[in-house]
Amino acid sequence: MNDIYFDERSEYDMRTVFTKAVGQEIYRIRRSRVMTGKELAIQLNVSQQQVSRYERGICNITVDTLILILNVLNVSIDEFFKHVYLNISDIKGNVDESYQRIFLSLKENDKNMFKIN
């Protein structure tokens, strides 16, 4: 029974790390575009506080919202997740094997498959 608890805990911790890494990357890109949280919030039709929650990794982002954010920030999905991978490495020190397979597959696939038009 303890083994199951640790497995679930580890999975939860990795999801938390992933959410924080995604938020850090949104924050980094937004700042590099010289855009305020309020400006991004207006374009997404959410509150400035919600953008802050995304960037701090407090709230999970739906796929739909992430696509909208990346579209507003004019960044491709593959480029975004390459940086998320680096953020995870910085936060955790090593990347969980299940996420590592996903990120490695991004390198192997055709980059055009992940572009936002």
Structural domains in the chain, CATH included, are 2-114 (1.10.260.40)
pLDDT the model gives residue 36: 97
* 52 has pLDDT over 60: yes
Evaluate if residue 114 carries a pLDDT over 50.
no
Q: What stretch of H or E contains 116?
A: none
Q: Report the alpha-carbon distance of residue 45 to residue 23 in Å, rounded.
A: 18
pLDDT score, position 42: 97
Supply 26's token pair. Answer: 């949104």
pTM of the model: 0.70
- The pLDDT, as a whole number, for residue 31 is 97
pLDDT over 80 at 110, yes or no? no
Could you give the 3-state DSSP secondary structure of residue 61? coil
Task: Report which of 56, 91, 55 is spatially closest to residue 73, judged by C-alpha positions.
Answer: 55
Q: What is the pLDDT of residue 34?
A: 96
Look at residue 3 in the predicted model and tell me its pLDDT.
40
